[in-house]
């Protein structure tokens, strides 16, 4: 439930209209040590996180992403073991980075259905052109 999330994350999720999505967050310092975490991180395969430890040891998926100069960075449709997809949102602030993980499984399914429909329409149009 996002009510238990820090205000920064609550506002961010509202701003991108992802209030009802499964989400989890990390807050890491500029030297990449974990300062805080919460939410549904188990859903994203993140377990046994330790405060004040370098996060790169626990989450190699983040390797090479830091430091970031932008205020915001989003990496869509990351796949994990259970075949779920999630988006990573990184928010740069003065003291560190908020890293938000949002379940994107439904968005990915909608995207696949849309692409399948487009492909089917293209094939139908091509077949119609051949018959003319």
- CATH number, domain with residue 73: 3.30.450.20
The answer to whether residue 100 sits within a structural domain is: yes
Average pLDDT score over the chain:
81
- The parent domain of residue 39 ranges over 2-105
Q: What percent of the chain has pLDDT over 90?
A: 29
pLDDT the model gives residue 19:
66
Give the total number of structural domains in the chain: 1
What are the helix (H) ranges across the chain? 7-15, 105-131
- Bigger pLDDT: 41 or 113? 41
Determine the average pLDDT of the residues in 67-93.
Answer: 86
pLDDT the model gives residue 2:
57
24: left (phi over 0), alpha (psi -120 to 50) or beta: beta
Determine the average pLDDT of the residues in 97-117.
Answer: 71
């Amino acid at each position: 439930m996002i009510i238990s999330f820090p205000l920064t994350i609550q506002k961010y999720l509202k701003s991108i209209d992802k209030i009802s999505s499964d989400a989890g967050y990390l807050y890491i310092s500029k030297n990449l040590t974990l300062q805080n975490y919460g939410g549904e991180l188990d859903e994203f395969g993140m377990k046994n996180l330790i405060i004040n430890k370098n996060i790169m040891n626990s989450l190699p998926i983040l390797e090479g992403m830091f430091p970031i100069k932008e205020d915001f960075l989003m990496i869509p449709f990351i796949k994990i073991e259970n075949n779920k997809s999630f988006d990573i949102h990184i928010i740069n602030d003065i003291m560190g980075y908020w890293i938000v993980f949002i379940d994107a499984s439904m968005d990915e399914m909608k995207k696949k259905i849309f692409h399948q429909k487009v492909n089917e329409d293209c094939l139908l149009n091509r077949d119609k052109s051949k018959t003319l």
